[in-house]
Amino acid sequence: MAAGRRQLPPAQATTRPRWHNLCMDNDGQLELYTAVAVQLKEAHARVRALQVPEGVRMALTRKLLVITAVAKHDLAEAARRLERFMTDLDEERIPEEEL
């Protein structure tokens, strides 16, 4: 444990509703965050499983990192980009290896 940080007892360490979660839940944002997070996890797993050169894997991983960064500012746009990314993977539209 880091100096100056105290560990919460198990009863207090559990996730519980917080004000920001409650605010997001009213307009459906929480469900969208969950959906995007699950899809990002699936996309990363699919990229790891691809039998492609390392340069291609790195390019795909960079695209996922960009989508993750976009999600911090515009969740709907991130969801659209992620859907396009997954469609490209499904249709085997994979970029050429970068030099």
DSSP states of 19-60 as a string? HHHHHHHHTTHHHHHHHHHHHHHHHHHHHHH----HHHHHHH
Task: Specify the higher pLDDT residue, 11 or 94.
Answer: 94
Is residue 27 predicted with pLDDT exceeding 80?
no
Could you give the percent of the chain with pLDDT greater than 90? 56
34-67 burial string, b = 16+ CB within 10 Å, else e?
eebeebbeebeeebeeeeeeeebbebbeebbeeb
pLDDT in tens, 64-74: 999 999 999 99
Rounded to the nearest integer, the mean pLDDT of the chain is 81
pLDDT in tens, 36-61: 999 999 999 999 999 999 999 999 99
